[in-house]
Structure 1
Amino acid sequence: MAVGTLASRVTGFLRTAMLVAALGTDAVADAYNTANTVPFIVYDLLLGGILTAVVVPLIVRARERDSAYGAQYEQRLFTLAVLGLSVITAIAVLLGPVFITIYGGKMQGDQRELAVLFARLFAVQIFFLGVSAFSGAILNTRKRFAAPMWAPVLNNIVICCTAGAFLLVVSGKVTPESISSGQITLLTAGTIGGMALQTLALWPSLRGSGFRWRPRLDFRKGELGQMGRMASWTLMYVVITQIGFAVTTRLANAAGVEGRQEGIGNVGYTPYFNAYQLFQLPYAIIGVSVITALLPRMSEHAAAGRMAELRDDFSSGLRLCSAVILPAAALMAVFAPEITTVLFAHGHTSEGDALVIANVLRAFAIALVPFAAYQLMLRVFYSMQDTRTPVFISVAVVATNIAASIAMYSLLPTEKIIVGIASGFAVAQTVGAIVGWTILRGRLGGMDGRRVFTAYLKLAVAIWPLIGFAYATHAIIDATLGLGLLPGLLALAVGSAGGGLLYLVFAKLLRVGEVQSMISMVAGRLPGRG
């Protein structure tokens, strides 16, 4: 799963880099990225959280009750999802202007018209996104994790080709006033086509797992009621989190408009969006893989009332995630300028634009560990079929995020606003992790705190040689060669390899079990070793 996710994220970064090269980080990019975020917002709002918190645990329990009943239950849920997604997609197309009003900040004139057009067209992705995610959820309950991790690679390849074609047909920098209908068609076809291909790619694996979809809506008494009760709390959780996202997106877009008016460069939503994509890479590679594998198992342990085993699942998952995510966060913070320069300083994006993304990325790096811990804690609640408690936790998280974002927008100069918003996100995730830990400790009869904190203490010690080596590499190469593509690649290669090796050595000396387990697992998979 981690290898599949790595391939997905690496090609995803290539996709992001290609789009940044093609569209830049200015008005057209803000319009495209804001509009292309809308389908994911609508999906998350109406179905995404329900899949994680409701569908997977319900299918697991239905299959444990009776295999034939479980198969019929899957078919009923899948039919309901297809019908619901069709209706949601049609409504979202009509509401394109409303979404841009909410998320577009101070967008106006040609930029707003372009964003509205993109929002209407991109809304078609909601259907494919939902079917893809539902298919992935079914595969996960059947312990088939590879296809959902690899399918996004196809989407990323299509988008890369689209961005490359856009660069070939465009001469000079594109603005909302100058972009042609043919160029809009090219971007739209590639964006929607990639998501459609990602969805279709899951069907062979679904059939191979034994799933056969026969449309049916013959729900038995109590099935819809049970799902509705769980889904209502999940929907409330997603609504609350999306309110926070709407505020931060609107403020970031407003900062971008103000930055262009003040002539200080591109400091709006697109740099924030790109930094967030980079920030999620370590979590997506290891965190999502661990959570995806653990959720069915945690649901089984929770259903059987084996809370001690559920607590062990959480503890082992958190420690394993942290052993990878903590050094990744450190490298991300040190090498942010090199990372963004190598990835983004091409085409219509300057080195200065890339450094804006680097500043935001450093703020996000602080959030990486608490973000991963908070996400894993939410899955523990979901495995216990508790979708209510995460709602109350999210109130504290979102309130903190909104308060911090508004304060940063009001107090900081325009060029620092998106860095401040990212810092507020880090504070909010820390609040979520602390509150979640406190509540789960009472529910599970403890959190295996001694082992967790001992592991964190050892990791905190092992990380400093990595930080020292990485920073020295960064400083020496920057002073001698400056910042650019080749110096950036050299710094990343030397600093990551040398710092990573030091981290592994010190982790081994400190007997960090999770790091030693990963080394053994990787070594066992090398040719001739297992």
Structure 2
Amino acid sequence: MNGGLYRSAHAAPDGEPQATEDGVTLISVDAQVVPGADAAQEQALPPESTGAVATGSGGGTAGQSAIMAVGSLVSRIIGFVRNALIGMALGTAVGNAYTTAQFLPGQIYELLLGGILSSVLVPLLVRRRKADPDGGEAFTQKLLTLAVVALGVATLLVVVIAPVITGIQVGGDNTEAYGDLVTRFAYLILPIIFFTGLSALIGAVLNVRGHFAAPMWAPILNNLVVIATCGLFIAIFSGDRITAESISPGAVLLIGAGTLLGMVVQALGLLPALRRVGFHWRWRWDPRSLGLREVGTLAGWMLCYVAANQVAVFVVVRILNRVAGEDSASVLAFNNVFLLTMMAHGIIGVSVMTALLPKMSAAAADGRYAEVSADLSRGIRLTAVALAPIAVVYGVLGAPIAVFLFQGGRFTNADALAAGTVLVVAAFAVLPLSISYLCTYAFYSLQGNKTAALINLPVVAVRIGAYFLLAAVLDRSLSAAGMTAANALSYLVSALISLAVLRRKIGRLNLGSVAVALVKVLVAAAVAAGAGLLVVRLMPGAGEPDGRGEAILQLLAGGSVILVVYLGVAALLRVREVSQVMGMVRRKVGR
């Protein structure tokens, strides 16, 4: 999500986060949760096929896709502006405290609703919309009423025990002032849980009724509010010394309340869209008629999946908070780098998966497992070919990217270079992340929610073990890079385990052709990386730019060389997927 740490991709029409990656800083260290096969197939129905759904829907599926694509791109750009301004306004120490506080609503929201929304509630809403005489309106009103009450009570309880939660999250390695600052931010930011849930629920109702534009664009309102808040903060407190010990109550109130206001505006911004699709929100308290036992049964494995991920989130935040007060990359840098990692996955991996999932689901439903296997192997090859140059750019140009995006104000050149080191490590996570997602999509096409959840348990165990191991052996200044490396390792383990299980379920996976393609891609990527490193080393700054001017020069020269060399070597090696990817890009640009 732009503007924040990562969260699973729930209730998103194209697999991307909805009131998440473009909204508040919400995270979930493994965002592999996606709608089940049934949900994906049912939601793929054209808006015009549902009568009133077409109203305000933007002119059908193609129009909606274009609107969502533009909205996603704009939202990502604005999200990076937001994150850059947060660093500029707060600096590293206070920025780490602020980011830590923003982890909390994401973790709690995921446990309350996030994992259940797309896998259980959205398919349920779709079925009732098709089966009920009133198009599922009464059922939806009752469900929203119960959800709003439950979210409100849960949010109130969490705010009351905020000091206990932040005390556990921060740990005992920080100063009392730092822990107190996280708690003060948490009091203001934790109410986001309610408005995040409200926004996601409204978005789900809109999606079920064929309206995707508003949920995609509403998070931009959130980012704009936070950007305005950061600008006001910089204007008012530019001359103040901002540290955990010296920050004033007014400064904490401004940035915390502004963050909360952004989520409030996002949720309220969705209400007009409800009226446009003809849904009327009435208060109906009748939880017994909702069939909650069925919902609970369906949600069990998803809750297991999400809970395991949140344990990993808790561990990584606690470890990174050990160095949050030091002059090194920590929570804030980890957040910013993860956004870049997810951006690459969102642009490439999600596009491939969105195209393949309906075909895989249909083939799996008919028992045509050879087609599922063929689609999966093709998806892996396409994803690898498209993501390899991006991974090379991150690995070779990590420092200039971080300087260009994040340096300024209280976020110094040294802070940006430290974040660049984390981005270099994240380059090795880009491809395993998307391949593990592809495998998870394959499981969901096979209706294998339970299998996906069980695979996730050893993956999270590996991730947490790597967190502790790397935290113990690495210098504290490399903690964020180490945690990123642990994530990359866990994605690789997830992909390997998933492929092994899928082979047992559906037979051969054409791994021979996949391996050949991956070897060719790795060779092209290695040559491109070497050429890029050579060019960057010969430029002013030699890979460690001192300011945006040098960073832009390195990005233009290094990025151009990497892309040209990669495409040239891939062509010489006859990587046929290159032409397919280029064709896909040309079609999107033309459209």
Report the TM-score range of the alignment, normalised by the length of the smaller protein.
0.7 to 0.9
Question: Is the contact between residue 75 and residue 215 of structure 1 (CA under 8 Å) also seen in structure 2?
Answer: yes
The 5-angstrom pairing of residues 74-473 of structure 1 reads 74-105=140-171, 106-141=173-208, 144-170=211-237, 171-209=239-277, 211-216=279-284, 223-257=291-325, 260=326, 265-291=327-353, 307=369, 310-311=372-373, 314-473=376-535
Amino acid in the other structure paired with 1:287: G
Q: Distance in 1 between matches of 2:411 and 2:443?
A: 43
Cα distance in 2 for residues equivalent to 1:356 and 1:480: 16
Question: Which range moves more in the overlay, 465-474 or 204-213?
Answer: 204-213
Query: Alpha-carbon deviation of 1:303?
Result: 5.6
Give CA deviations for 1:294-333 in whole Å, capped at 9, x if unaligned.
6667666656666555555544544443333222111111
Residue matched to 2:53: none
Matches of 2:535 and 2:118 in 1, distance apart?
A: 42
Structure 2 CA distance for aligned equivalents of residues 78 and 301 of structure 1? 34
Q: Kindly state the Cα deviation for residue 420 of structure 1 after the two structures are TM-superposed.
A: 1.8
Going from structure 1 to structure 2, the CA distance change for 1:395 and 1:492 (only over 3 Å counts) comes to same
What is the aligned partner in structure 2 of residue 486 from structure 1?
549
Alignment correspondent of 1:29: 95
Distance 2:354 2:333 in 1: 29
- Secondary structure, aligned partner of 2:409: coil
Report the alpha carbon displacement of residue 488 of structure 1 after superposing the two structures with TM: 0.5
The amino acid across from 1:278 in the alignment is: L
For 1:475, which of 529, 537, 550 is the aligned residue? 537
Contact 2:386–2:581, Cα closer than 8 Å, also in 1: no
Alpha carbons of structure 1 residues 393 and 525: separation in structure 2 relative to 1, 3 Å: closer
Contact 1:159-1:191 at 8 Å conserved across structures: yes
Residues 229 and 181 of structure 1: is their aligned pair in 2 closer, same or farther, counting only changes over 3 Å? Answer: same
Partner Cα distance (1:65, 1:302) in 2: 25
CA 1:122 to 1:523, structure 2 compared with 1: closer, same or farther past 3 Å?
Answer: same
TM-score, with length taken from structure 2: 0.79
1:45 aligned to 90, 111, 114, which one? 111
Once residues 199 and 167 of structure 1 are traced to their aligned partners in structure 2, the CA distance between those partners, rounded to angstroms, is 26
Contact 1:282/1:324 (<8 A) preserved: no
- Do the aligned residues in 1 keep the contact of 2:536 with 2:542 (CA within 8 Å)? no
What secondary structure, in the 3-state scheme, does the structure 2 residue paired with 1:366 have? helix
Deviation string, structure 1 residues 262-311 (Cα, Å, up to 9, x no partner): xxx23432222222222222113333455456666766665666655555
Residue deviations 1:316-365 (CA, integer Å, cap 9, x gap): 54444333322211111110110111122211122111111111111122
Q: CA deviation at 1:434?
A: 0.9
CA contact (8 A) 1:247 1:402 kept: yes
- 2-structure distance, mates of 1:352, 1:32: 20
Structure 1: segments with no counterpart, 5+ residues: none
By how many angstroms is 1:492 displaced? 1.0
Displacement of 1:430 in angstroms is 0.8
AA at the equivalent of 1:248: V
How many angstroms apart in 2 are the aligned matches of 1:74 and 1:298? 30
Q: Is the 8 A contact 1:140 1:292 kept in 2?
A: no
1:60–1:300: 8 Å Cα contact kept in structure 2? no
Distance 2:105 2:419 in 1: 24
- Report the CA distance between 1:447 and its aligned residue: 3.5
Distance change (3 Å), C-alpha of 1:443 and 1:58: farther
Secondary structure (helix, strand or coil) at the match of 2:498 reads helix
In the aligned structure 1, how far is the partner of 2:443 from the partner of 2:542? Answer: 52
C-alpha separation between the residues in 1 aligned to 2:323 and 2:113?
A: 31
Which of 77, 83, 89 is matched with 1:16 structurally? 83
Inter-partner Cα distance in structure 2 for 1:229 and 1:146: 32
Deviates more, 1:406-415 or 1:466-475: 466-475
CA-to-aligned-CA distance 1:104-134 (integer Å, 9 cap, x gap): 1323422212211211211111112122223
Give the Cα separation in 2 of the matches to 1:152 and 1:297. 30
Q: 1:378 to 1:481 in 2, by over 3 A?
A: closer
SS of 1:54's equivalent? helix
Asked if 2 retains the 8 angstrom alpha-carbon contact of 1:2 and 1:286, the reply is no
1:179 partner SS? coil
TM-score normalised by structure 1 residue count = 0.88
Superposed displacement of residue 38, structure 1: 0.6
Name whichever of 167-176 and 287-296 sits farther off: 287-296
1: distance between equivalents of 2:89 and 2:83? 10
Cα gap change, 1:146 to 1:292, in 2 (>3 Å): farther
> 2:254 corresponds to which letter in structure 1?
L
Between the aligned partners of 1:351 and 1:519, the Cα distance in structure 2 is 36
CA distance in 1, matches of 2:380, 2:333: 30
Count residues in correspondence: 521
Write the distance in 1 (CA, Å) between the matches of 2:129 and 2:508: 30
Alpha-carbon distance, 1:174 to partner: 0.6
Superposed CA deviations along residues 57-89 of structure 1, whole A, max 9, x for unmatched, are 444555566785655554444343323222221
In the other structure, the counterpart of 2:562 is 499
Greater helix content: 1
SS class of match (2:338): helix
Change (3 A) 1:123 1:30: same
Inter-partner Cα distance in structure 2 for 1:216 and 1:208: 21
Name the counterpart of 1:6.
73
515-524 vs 210-219, which moves further: 210-219
Maintained 8 Å contact 2:400/2:544: no
CA contact (8 A) 1:287 1:372 kept: yes
Residues 144/365 of structure 1: CA separation in 2 closer, same or farther (3 Å cut):
farther
List gaps (5 residues or longer) in structure 2: 1-67
**C-alpha distance in 2, partners of 1:78/1:255?**
42
Question: Helix, strand or coil: the match of 2:538?
Answer: helix
How far apart are the structure 2 equivalents of 1:191 and 1:139?
25
Mapped to 2, the partners of 1:437 and 1:148 lie a distance apart of: 33
Q: CA RMSD in A?
A: 3.0
- 1:400 maps to a residue whose letter is V
